[in-house]
A = this chain, B = another copy of it.
């Protein structure tokens, strides 16, 4: 037989903690948090419940860690969009909207993990809630910064409007009521930015 050192299974296996997080990611996203048991996560991760509790204090801690990673991935995508359009805040905003719009067909009828998790975890003390609220707060701050950079006269209002349509597009995709949500999303975000820019010139002309 071959050596056992470099051939842990049929393919190279990640360490247990990564496998657990990957399995949790897939199951939580497709079936929800509450409906997925720790045993099911262990099986998909090709490990055992005990291994999970060796790496995470409780199931709630695992949920929180999953959302933390997801939020970090999301912020990284945010970073890439910003970097792709340096010093052009309007393009950054539209790039962000495009990022969301392109993701809509993927999440299809199983919506945004943050929104869903918020629905599944009503207790304000749950560790996952803090992760979600911090993430949303950070996202809004970055959006406000972009709107400020774009010279919009009321960046808080503009950022709030964009936040509304981004989240609304995701839930409307989830319940399948609106078709061509991606295109519609892009159109309205452009319209929001342009309207606020028009406000700029109006304010400038008046001042």
**A160 adjacent to chain B (CB < 8 Å):** yes
A111 engages B120 (CB within 8 Å): no
Interface flag for A75 (CB, 8 Å): no
Residues in B neighbouring A185, C-beta threshold 8 A:
164
Complex interface residues of chain A between 164 and 190 (CB less than 8 A to chain B): 164-169, 171-172, 174-178, 181, 184-185, 187-188
User: Considering the chains assembled together, what is the distance between the CA atoms of A176 and B190 in angstroms?
Assistant: 25
Does A202 reach chain B (CB closer than 8 Å)? Answer: no
Instruction: Given A122-B30, A157-B184, A184-B161, decide whether A137 and B172 contact each other with a Cβ distance below 8 A.
Output: no
A133 to B177, Cβ gap below 8 A?
A: yes
User: Assuming A140-B177, A175-B132, A177-B133, is B163 touching A32 (CB within 8 A)?
Assistant: no
Contacts A32-B119, A119-B120 given; does A164 touch B169 at CB 8 Å: yes
**Within 8 Å of chain B (Cβ to Cβ): is A35?**
yes
Contact residues of A between 7 and 59, Cβ < 8 Å to B: 30-32, 34-35
Q: Mark A108-150, 1 if CB is under 8 A from B, else 0.
A: 0111001111111010100000001100110110000000000
Chain A interface size range:
35 or more
Task: Check B164–A168 contact: CB distance below 8 A.
Answer: yes
Contact of A178 among B30, B120, B140, B174 (CB under 8 A): B140
CB-contacts of A79-116 with B (<8 A): 109-111, 114-116
Interchain Cβ contacts under 8 Å between A and B, 8 examples: A31-B122, A34-B35, A34-B120, A109-B124, A111-B118, A116-B119, A118-B175, A157-B187
Q: Which residues of A contact B (CB under 8 A)?
A: 30-32, 34-35, 109-111, 114-120, 122, 124, 132-133, 136-137, 139-140, 157, 160-161, 163-169, 171-172, 174-178, 181, 184-185, 187-188, 191-192, 195
Beyond the given A115-B119, A160-B172, A188-B192, please list 8 additional residue pairs across the A-B interface where CB-CB is below 8 A: A31-B122, A34-B35, A139-B177, A140-B178, A157-B187, A167-B167, A167-B171, A168-B169
